[in-house]
Amino acid sequence: MIETLISSKTRIKLLLKFFLNSRSTSYLRGLESEFGESSNAIRLELNRFEKAGMLKSFSEGNRKYFQANTDHPLFEEVHTILMKYIGFDRIIDTVIERLGEIREVYIVGQFSKGLDSPVIDLMFTGDIDENYLIKLIRKAEDLIHRKIRYIIYRNDELPKIDWKQFDPQPLLLWAKDK
């Protein structure tokens, strides 16, 4: 659907890279190898986003790094559109809200890096009925046309989570209201 609105595949990749995970930073050559596209096409899009104020940049050594400008007035709207494009809003509606004792849900894997993928990796924390989760995930997969993989850390396992194993750090998708 988003491909109808935005015809540039490079632009879509950059939006996913920077606006799904606002902590994501990258430089031109890194994006070139990550996307498998020419540096010129990527440079043009980066410059457009930076000129519009949607990306900010900083230098480190001889590299110019880019990152989403979370202060831009459209940041939240773009982020929300991308979440809907990926199908996270439907995952929340059909899986998370009906499960029970969930504490938090995180995005891990490719999407936490800001990369599009046919597989969505999720990490659940809390005491969850896994059989029911599997049924709900199957329904969500049909709705969003993507596979969903998951890992569950039960309440008694939470202190043992080695957060350093995740690269980059998981993105909080949902948290129980305290």
Report the alpha-carbon distance of residue 31 to residue 65 in Å, rounded.
10
Is 25 domain-assigned? yes
Residue ending a domain, choose from 12, 39, 68: 68
- When pLDDT is averaged across residues 80-99 and rounded to a whole number, the result is 72
Is 114 domain-assigned? yes
Element (H, E) at 156: none
Q: 156 and 127 in one domain? A: yes
Residue 67 identity: Q
Amino acid 21: pLDDT: 78
Amino acid 58: pLDDT: 95
Radius of gyration of the chain (CA): 17
Is 78 domain-assigned? no
Is 35 domain-assigned? yes
Amino acid 74: pLDDT: 93
Would the pLDDT of 178 be above 60? no
Q: 97 and 30 in one domain? A: no
Would the pLDDT of 82 be above 80? yes
Q: Which residue pairs, CB below 8 angstroms and at least 24 apart, start in 5-9? A: 8/45
For 40-80, how does the pLDDT look when each residue is reduced to its tens digit (9 = 90+)? Answer: 999 999 999 999 999 999 999 999 999 999 999 999 999 88
Report the alpha-carbon distance of residue 73 to residue 53 in Å, rounded.
9
Q: 164 and 127 in one domain? A: yes
Q: 167 and 91 in one domain? A: yes
- What CATH number is associated with residue 110? 3.30.460.10
Is 73 domain-assigned? no
Regarding pTM above 0.75, the answer is: no
pLDDT band at 92 (very low <50, low <70, confident <90, very high): low
- What CATH number is associated with residue 6? 1.10.10.10
Is 58 domain-assigned? yes
For 117-159, how does the pLDDT look when each residue is reduced to its tens digit (9 = 90+)? Answer: 899 999 999 888 888 888 888 888 887 788 999 999 998 888 8
Report DSSP state, residue 110: G
Amino acid 2: pLDDT: 63
Total domains present in the chain: 2
List the domain range (segments joined by +) for residue 37. 2-68
Amino acid 142: pLDDT: 82
Report the alpha-carbon distance of residue 167 to residue 112 in Å, rounded.
8
For 94-111, how does the pLDDT look when each residue is reduced to its tens digit (9 = 90+)? Answer: 666 667 788 888 889 888
For 156-176, how does the pLDDT look when each residue is reduced to its tens digit (9 = 90+)? Answer: 888 888 888 887 778 888 787
